[in-house]
């Protein structure tokens, strides 16, 4: 296995690990706001690492540019959609979970 | 079974578990999280499958997923920001 | 539309950008350029009308510094959330945190709100005027310092001056 292949595998596995952590966070975190944190951060980092890992295996520049474009669009989508969900939740009076409440 | 296919299946299981969690709510805001899940996990699964099966068409499908996620986000945002104009002027 | 130097520059840069985009999307197929050149010209024209060129330029050093900052902070943010999620006792101390922004009105504030959602411990919830409401994972964390750092990076990137708060 070449160095580039090894780095690519490591990045892909690390990416999948962050997706896993994001899912665990989604299951365990106590309210919608904290769950949004789990998705917005862990999953985006997971996708970033997967994209980086695949970039190292990309057959050409065209595919590489497409992959980066996909990553940028996904970041934009997560940030805007996450903001909107949080705002709607707050305007609809969904109270945030506080330390000391039942988890 | 090669590594990218294994990882794609692993992420698919993640997505399933997450979707079940999200569907249970309890609030409508929790259910909206599904939109985020497709924008990230869904896109990652498609990209890994594209590599595993040497089907570049899957990359284009992932691009459409990401684009739809971004555009629907922006569309909601425009509507929501317009509501806010009175607040901005009263400042 | 008046033909200024800024317009000419914008047309050149943007048509180059759209051409690269077209090339990538079609996997570099040479037979697609008939439709491609028309599409690039159309996209450039529409973009000039919808988003007229302005005389401020995005600073390149600012962009590089912002990218490095963003990548490092994304790693920290992901690691922090993963840490909370995988610990047996999560130890979350969430809450709302309001902060007055120093960035001037406009795209900068929106970009900041979006960026903060992807950075460690903060999630933008509401942006009204210069007041940003954040949801934080840990109330004990130095949120103020983190927001100010992101704010300065964005101001560098867009060549904006920060207001003083107080």
In-domain check, residue A36: yes
Residue B40 near residue A43, CB atoms below 8 Å: yes
List of chain B residues whose C-beta atoms are within 8 Å of the C-beta of residue C128: 84, 87-88, 91
In-domain check, residue C132: yes
Same structural domain, C80 and C128: yes
Domain count, chain C: 2
pLDDT per position as a tens digit, C69-111: 888 888 888 888 888 878 777 777 777 887 777 777 777 788 8
Cis peptide before B58 (omega within 30 of 0): no
C148 exposure class (CB count in 10 Å sphere: 0-12, 13-18, 19+): middle
pLDDT tops 50 at residue B48: yes
List of chain C residues whose C-beta atoms are within 8 Å of the C-beta of residue B84: 128
Residue of C nearest to A84 (CA): C125
Same structural domain, C12 and C74: no
In-domain check, residue A82: yes
pLDDT per position as a tens digit, C95-152: 788 777 777 777 778 888 888 888 888 888 888 877 788 888 777 777 778 888 888 8
Would you state the pLDDT for residue B1?
57
C50 exposure class (CB count in 10 Å sphere: 0-12, 13-18, 19+): exposed
In-domain check, residue A70: yes
Same structural domain, C95 and C115: yes
Please give the torsion angle defined by the CA atoms of residues A47, A51, A52 and A53, in that order, rounded to the nearest 10 degrees. 100
Same structural domain, C66 and C45: no
Distance, CA of B90 to CA of C54 (rounded, Å): 28
Same structural domain, C39 and C116: no
Q: Record the tokens describing residue C123, joined without a space.
A: 């999630």
Give the one of B27, B35, B62 whose C-beta lies nearest to A89's C-beta.
B27
Residue of A nearest to B7 (CA): A16
pLDDT tops 80 at residue B29: no
pLDDT tops 60 at residue A103: no
Do B91 and C27 make contact, defined as CB atoms within 8 angstroms?
no
**Interface predicted TM-score (ipTM) of this complex, two decimals:** 0.84
Q: Strands across the sheet with C131-136, in order?
A: C95-100, C131-136, C122-128
The mean pLDDT of chain A is 83
Would you state the pLDDT for residue A59?
80
Residue to substitute from A63, A73, A83, interface B, most B β-carbons within 10 A: A73
Question: Is A22's Cβ below 8 Å from some Cβ in C?
Answer: yes
Domain count, chain A: 1
List of chain C residues whose C-beta atoms are within 8 Å of the C-beta of residue A103: 90
Per the structure, the complete domain to which residue C15 belongs is given by 5-50
Do B87 and C27 make contact, defined as CB atoms within 8 angstroms?
no
Determine the average pLDDT of the residues in A40-68. Answer: 87
Determine the average pLDDT of the residues in C33-56. Answer: 82
In-domain check, residue A24: yes
In-domain check, residue C55: no
**pTM to 2 decimals?**
0.82
Per the structure, the complete domain to which residue A10 belongs is given by 3-91
Distance, CA of A49 to CA of A96 (rounded, Å): 31
pLDDT tops 80 at residue B79: no
Residue of A nearest to C115 (CA): A79
In-domain check, residue A97: no
Residue to substitute from B70, B82, B88, B90, interface C, most C β-carbons within 10 A: B88
Neighbors of chain B with 3 or more C-beta pairs under 8 Å:
A, C
- Give the Cβ contact number of residue C68 at 10 Å: 11
Would you state the pLDDT for residue B81?
47
Would you state the pLDDT for residue B17?
87
Would you state the pLDDT for residue C166?
45
In-domain check, residue A99: no
Do B43 and A57 make contact, defined as CB atoms within 8 angstroms?
no
Pairing of strands C95-100, C131-136: antiparallel
Same structural domain, C85 and C140: yes
């Amino acid at each position: 296995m070449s160095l580039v292949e090894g780095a690519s595998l490591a990045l892909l596995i690390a990416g999948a690990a962050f997706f896993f952590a994001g899912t665990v966070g989604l299951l365990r975190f106590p309210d919608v706001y904290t769950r949004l944190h789990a998705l917005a951060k862990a999953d985006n980092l997971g996708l970033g690492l997967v994209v980086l890992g695949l970039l190292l295996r990309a057959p050409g520049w065209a595919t590489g540019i497409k992959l980066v474009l996909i990553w940028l669009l996904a970041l934009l989508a997560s940030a805007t959609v996450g903001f909107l969900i949080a705002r709607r939740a707050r305007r609809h009076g969904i109270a945030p979970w506080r330390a000391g409440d039942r988890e | 079974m090669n590594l990218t296919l294994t990882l794609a299946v692993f992420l698919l299981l993640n997505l399933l578990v997450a979707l079940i969690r999200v569907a249970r709510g309890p609030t409508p805001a929790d259910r909206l999280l599904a939109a985020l899940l497709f924008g990230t996990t869904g896109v990652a699964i498609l990209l890994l499958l594209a590599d595993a099966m040497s089907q570049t068409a899957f990359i284009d499908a992932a691009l459409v997923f990401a684009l739809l996620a971004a555009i629907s986000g922006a569309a909601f945002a425009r509507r929501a920001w317009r509501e806010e104009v009175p607040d901005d002027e009263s400042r | 539309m008046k033909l200024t130097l800024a317009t000419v520059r914008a047309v050149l840069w943007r048509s180059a950008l759209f051409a690269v985009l077209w090339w990538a999307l079609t996997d570099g197929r040479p037979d697609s350029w008939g439709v491609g050149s028309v599409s690039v010209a159309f996209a450039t024209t529409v973009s000039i009308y919808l988003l007229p060129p302005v005389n401020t330029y995005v600073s390149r050093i600012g962009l590089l510094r912002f990218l490095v900052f963003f990548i490092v902070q994304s790693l920290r943010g992901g690691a922090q959330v993963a840490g909370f999620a995988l610990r047996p006792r999560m130890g979350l101390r969430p809450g709302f945190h309001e902060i007055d922004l120093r960035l001037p009105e406009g795209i900068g504030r929106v970009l900041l709100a979006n960026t903060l959602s992807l950075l460690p411990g903060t999630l933008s919830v509401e942006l009204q005027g210069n007041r940003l409401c954040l949801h934080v994972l840990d109330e004990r964390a130095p949120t103020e310092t983190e927001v100010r750092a992101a704010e300065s990076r964005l101001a560098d990137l867009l060549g904006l001056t920060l207001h003083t708060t107080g």
